[in-house]
Structure 1
Amino acid sequence: MLYSPAPLHIPDGFLNVAVSIICWVITVITLGIAISKTNKSLGERQVPLMGVMAAFIFAAQMINYPVLGGTSGHLLGGALAAITLGPWAGVLVMTAVITVQGLLFQDGGLLAMGANILNMGLLTAGVGYGLYRSVLGKSRKTQLVVAGIAAWLSVMAGALATSLQLWLSGTSDLRLVIPAMLSVHALIGLGEAAVTVAALGFIFRTRPDLLDEKSASAQGSRGWVVAGILITLAVVLISPFASADPDGLERVAINIGFINNSQSAPFELIPDYAIPFLGETSISTIAAGAVGVLVVLAVAFLVGRSLQQKRAN
């Protein structure tokens, strides 16, 4: 049977209501700050690049790569988004990706969406950019090395936060879930670091000015935007060949024994990244990925455009 990506984020049922609400509160407050900060600092070149980066991260998250022990991992992308766009625009990009995944593909629970945005978007962007900014102005080699370390640490931060939320929810014992989550995500984080460094290295070689808001214009960025969309669609084309092994969180849930806590979404649109009337086929997965790419690109672009227009007024 051809591979169709399974849900990758925290489903409803893993976290209790109190923890989920607390995560939502933290997320909403942080997003409010991100909107305010982005509204004040959003550059002209960032609007189309927000859309492209969101689309690329969505597509890349469909590609699960195998790690040890019959487990797979996938890109989070928060560090990459924050480094290329700035921390606040990066947060909005990650929020757009995770929201579309939850609402359109039932990837992650609705009540748990606040936790997913917090763990995979806010923390990864904050940790990734926080470390990377310390080497701004340094050599490209230094920046790439630190970007890789920052990407790895961002994955570990998200895994640790998830562990604490599972413990606070009474889902798992702290002494079991922390070492289980951190050990598997230490390996997954290596893939995150590799993809982040490769993407930044490509930008450094082709359009280093895109990492400098002052020197990049929307006109000069159009060719790169087209190239980014083409690369994203190429990633979608290989999505049916991604690893079918459980991802890090799912593997931990199976091993520790709380996988049955997972609750299905109350509705289905494009569940499991497969178009319902096409079945579980490679065409179905590619078509679902293409739909997701277009939706995420449009959402992130419109968010950036609306903030830019608000700033102009």
Structure 2
Amino acid sequence: MHVPDGFFNAATSVSAGVVAAAGIGVCLSKARRELDDRTAPMAGLVAAFIFAVQMLNFPVAAGTSGHLLGGALAAILVGPYTGVLCMAVVLLVQCVFFADGGLTALGINISIMGIVTVLVGYGVFRFVSRLAKGKGGITLAAFLGALVSVPAAALVFALLFAIGGTAPISPMAVAAAMGGVHVLIGIGEAIITALTVGAVLAVRPDLVYGARGLGQTLVLRGADGSTSEVGTAPAPAPAATRGPAKPFLLGGVGLTLVLAGAVSFFANSNPDGLEAVAEQKGFLGQAKGHLVNWALSDYGEVGGIPVGIAGIIGVGLVLLIAGAVAWAARGRRKVEV
């Protein structure tokens, strides 16, 4: 759903840029509640993983593909404030280095793909996780949060297009088309998010921010051997649960490099949901060429760089930038990494 230059007028692009900048500023100040010496590297890994998986377009309909947006996944794994920062770094690197999303549309992309997906996805996740208990409930909540976040972002795009789009297209037609195809993309997003969250929960539940409130059932055992549940106790502090995080983080980096460096060659080449809708509704021609055009543009296609090599470079850039941002924004609690 990366918006190119030309789809929106200057006023809408600037306004969205102000919203995105304000949101990032708030998240930078609030992220210290979610981050410490242990979890800051996790934020870098999550951002790099989202970058890599966004390269893996999957088919959703005849001639249309979709890819992970990742806002809900980031928020569940590292917290909503840190999740917005992760998404902002991913979108910035994609825009500046890979010509994926317009420079003038960067604020729109951060607002839609970063802030909206995090707010909606994490909001749904928190609501469902309070009703469905345990690790299974966390995974279900992750599925539903991700599922809802994608069409929500698509409808916000349609709303902004009705306000400041550069083509005289019926707002209802854009909303219907964007909502319809992104419901299908949302199913793929939900599956990827649930599988990822479930896998991390199985191996290192202490590194899942959304599971920090996961309680432990208190069981009262009687003299006759009978048992009864009497409530829940808070989960142990994440930092004290499973030991050093370095092995997990290194394994995650290895998996991310494999996805970007090898699996990306098999990504579906059909246009994504936004591009397909733009072509169908007649406003694809409003897109302008990217203002930056160099070797890594279009993930190496312009410079003749194999997509896997471009992906590995991108993973490295995102990992370094997101990790540095998270490290700078972290709280001062020192724990074993």
TM-score past 0.5 threshold:
yes
In the other structure, the counterpart of 2:238 is: 215
Shift of 1:162: 0.8
- Which of residues 153, 157, 166 is equivalent to 1:162? 157
- Corresponding position: 1:268 with 2:293: yes
Structure 1 residues 12-161: aligned runs within 5 Å:
12-134=5-127, 135-136=129-130, 138-161=133-156
Q: Secondary structure at the match of 2:102?
A: coil
CA separation of 1:45 and 1:107: change in aligned 2, threshold 3 A:
same
Higher relative contact order (CA 8 A, sep 6+): 1
CA separation of 1:125 and 1:268: change in aligned 2, threshold 3 A:
same
Task: State whether residues 40 and 326 of structure 2, in contact with CA within 8 Å, keep that contact through their aligned partners in structure 1.
Answer: yes
In the other structure, the counterpart of 2:266 is: 241
- Corresponding position: 1:290 with 2:315: no
CA separation of 1:156 and 1:99: change in aligned 2, threshold 3 A:
same
List gaps (5 residues or longer) in structure 1. Answer: 1-7
- Corresponding position: 1:306 with 2:331: no
Letter in structure 1 aligned against 2:238: S
Task: State whether residues 34 and 330 of structure 2, in contact with CA within 8 Å, keep that contact through their aligned partners in structure 1.
Answer: no
Normalized per residue, the structure richer in helix is: 1
Normalized per residue, the structure richer in strand is: 2
Q: Secondary structure at the match of 1:109?
A: coil
List gaps (5 residues or longer) in structure 2. Answer: 213-236
Q: How does the TM-score come out when normalised to structure 2?
A: 0.85
Shift of 1:40: 4.2
Q: Secondary structure at the match of 1:278?
A: coil
Shift of 1:227: 1.0
C-alpha RMSD of the superposition = 1.9
Shift of 1:44: 2.4
Task: State whether residues 102 and 110 of structure 1, in contact with CA within 8 Å, keep that contact through their aligned partners in structure 2.
Answer: yes
Q: How many residues align?
A: 301
Give distance in 2, aligned partners of 1:191 and 1:60: 12
Task: State whether residues 273 and 288 of structure 1, in contact with CA within 8 Å, keep that contact through their aligned partners in structure 2.
Answer: yes
Shift of 1:309: 7.4
Structure whose CA Rg is larger? 2
- Corresponding position: 1:278 with 2:300: no
Give distance in 2, aligned partners of 1:41 and 1:85: 7
Task: For residues 147-191 of structure 1, give each alpha carbon's deviation from its aligned partner in whole angstroms, at most 9, with x where no partner exists.
Answer: 111101110111011111122124331121000000000000000
Q: How does the TM-score come out when normalised to structure 1?
A: 0.91
